[in-house]
Structure 1
């Protein structure tokens, strides 16, 4: 059984994660993805540009997403060990649209 301080610390960590945009290193995932698809270095640069654009959009909209969605999507966007802001943005957008459809 968890003690009250352990629960409080866990809740504090969840809030801290949800309050700021995650800091992902997307270079390895872009490199791996483009290495599998082709040897064209332009594709890796495009991947990095897409990730940068998605990160800026996530940062711009971050406060507008629900904390529970921010936490869940941030975890999902790095589940396979290849974090992606494109995946994070897609998850957050879909979560917001799903909630809007319920209203």
Structure 2
């Protein structure tokens, strides 16, 4: 559990190439170079989005999402950004949290 606070301080490091190769191999049985390249583009864009917005998210959301993306399967920046956005939307729509 002591690793979680450090994860919340900066965007987690994810090996994009390994993630994309694993995802493509799992879905099709082999890593299609074009699909992997598309995945790498999407993951790179999501990583940059996470870096730009990281400090805007509550620390609790950063910790929870950083831990969640590493549960089962390949970790993903796309999943990280999705988690953070869902958490932000949930907080903004909850009465009394503004």
Same fold by TM-score, threshold 0.5 exceeded?
Answer: yes
SS in 1 for 2:14: coil
Aligned CA RMSD, in angstroms, stands at 1.6
1:97 aligns with 2:89: yes
Gap regions ≥5 residues in structure 1:
1-9
1:17-96 to structure 2, matched below 5 A, reads 17-35=7-25, 36-37=27-28, 40-96=32-88
Deviation at 1:15, TM superposition (A): 3.3
Query: TM-score, normalised on structure 2?
Result: 0.84
- Quote the offset at 1:17 in angstroms: 2.1
Q: Structure 1 residue runs of 4+, over 3 Å off?
A: none
Matched, 1:15 2:5: yes
Superposition TM-score, scaled by structure 1 size: 0.80
Q: Which runs of 5+ in 2 are unaligned?
A: none
Report which of the two has the higher share of helix. Answer: 1
Which entry has the higher C-alpha Rg, 1 or 2? 1
